[in-house]
Amino acid sequence: MKNFITAILAWAGMIVAASLANCATAGDSASAPTLKDAYKNDFLIGVAINQRQFTGEDTNGVALITSQFNAISPENVMKWALIHPNPVTNAYDFGPADDYIAFGEQHHMFIVGHTLVWHNQTPRWVFQDENGRLLNATNAADRELLLQRMHDHIQTVVGRYKGRIKCWDVVNEALNDSSSLNDTNLLRRSSPWVRILGVDFIVKAFQYAHEADPDAILRYNDYSIENPAKRERLITLIKYLQSQHVPVMAIGSQTHANLSWPGVELEDSFLTEVSSLGLPTHITELDVNGSQGGQRSQSADITQNAQANGGGSQVDSAPEKLAQQYANLFKVFVKHRDEIKLVTFWGVTDADSWRRNGKPLLFDGNWQPKPAFDAVIKAAQP
Ligand code: XIL
């Protein structure tokens, strides 16, 4: 009998423990500190979200998004290939983007649009004529056609969400990626936008976006701009745009970090130098890659992501190193709170991440906060 009672008590204890574990997502506890509260006097805290989240299917993800964050970015659904896959007039697929924006409005979040003009996730037809011939920089009619397409795209997409999307990544990753200070090419030569239109595509993209929504904050967004060569190119580009009165209104620093890069000094000097441009800075795609492959590469080029994902192997003590790197970065962000208006994480949980092998986010695949979450909360305290 005694054994039976002991067994029942043990079983009941297991059930209680299991249900407590199930409930213990960071979003559930009313008293636990949240990211958006911890940084409410500093900057907005955003997150990139996917379709399962903004349609409500991923209920645990939604609980975290609505409790922890006050800004959202669309991880994929507003990229050209997804929102405007076909060339024929009105061949837009607005459904997912409409749902994304409805989600943001329902939860009173700051809604970001990502991204209007990029060389990746853009259909091939954009850079071809009706016969499949590549458009050519030396042909005035070709250039005109590409500008016309870009104009129609920006006017249609920005115009549709005018006043609702508060901030747009207008141009993504246009700078030359070389780490050599001697490489004097400003822009990324492998981009068809650069090859066909040169710097004009950046000028026009911002002008068209501003025409379509004069109140939207227009961002130039790129990665590895902390590093000396790319940082210098960023400053040259933005100063040129400013000299031409191009409406570039914020710098987006993607900040796809790893466990040691960017270091505190590099990040600090980057934020200081960039602030001299007189524009606010947004940290737009923050994650900290803990995979072995990710320690060798600082590139966030999506075509090289397999290497950065590191085949699944984490470095030793990755969770502790992750927490330390997040703490370091957030301390620098707080130091620069006057210039930084928004810090956005590139995904909710490790399982959602484009670098899921690197377990780069604050919540694990079971929606539980990791040591890095506590480190970020703690970094907010003076
Ligand atoms: C990534 C998404 O997270 C992936 O789901 C997709 O397969 C590729 O693009 N820089 C950017 C983002 O500006 O749009 C990229 O997002 C990550 C790098």
Residue 307 has a pLDDT of 80
Q: What percent of the chain has pLDDT over 70?
A: 91
**Choice among 75, 226, 267, 285 that is catalytic:** 285
Query: Does residue 302 have its Cβ closer than 6 Å to ligand 1?
Result: yes
Return the ∠ at Cα 281 (arms to 330 and 381), rounded to 5°.
25
What pTM did the predictor assign?
0.92
Catalytic (active site) residue 211: no
Please report the pLDDT score of residue 27 as a whole number: 44
Instruction: Establish whether 285 is a catalytic residue.
Output: yes
Give the pLDDT confidence of 83-125 residue by residue, as tens digits.
Answer: 999 998 779 999 999 999 999 999 999 999 999 999 999 999 9
Q: Is 254 in the pocket of ligand 1 (CB under 6 A)?
A: yes
CB distance 100 to ligand 1 below 6 Å: no
Q: pLDDT for 55-77, tens place per residue? A: 999 999 999 999 999 999 999 99
**Neighbouring-strand partners of residue 222:** 253
Confidence of residue 13 (pLDDT cuts 50, 70, 90): very low
Q: What Rg do the C-alpha atoms of the chain give, in angstroms?
A: 22
With beta carbons less than 8 A apart as the criterion, state whether 196 and 143 touch.
yes
- Contact 339 CB / ligand 1 (< 6 Å): no
Residue located nearest, by CA, to atom 15 of ligand 1 = 302
- Which candidate in 173, 226, 267, 339 is catalytic? 173
* pLDDT tens track for 257-280: 999 999 999 999 999 999 999 999
Q: Report the separation in Å between the CA atom of 333 and the middle of ligand 1, taken as the mean of its atom positions.
A: 23
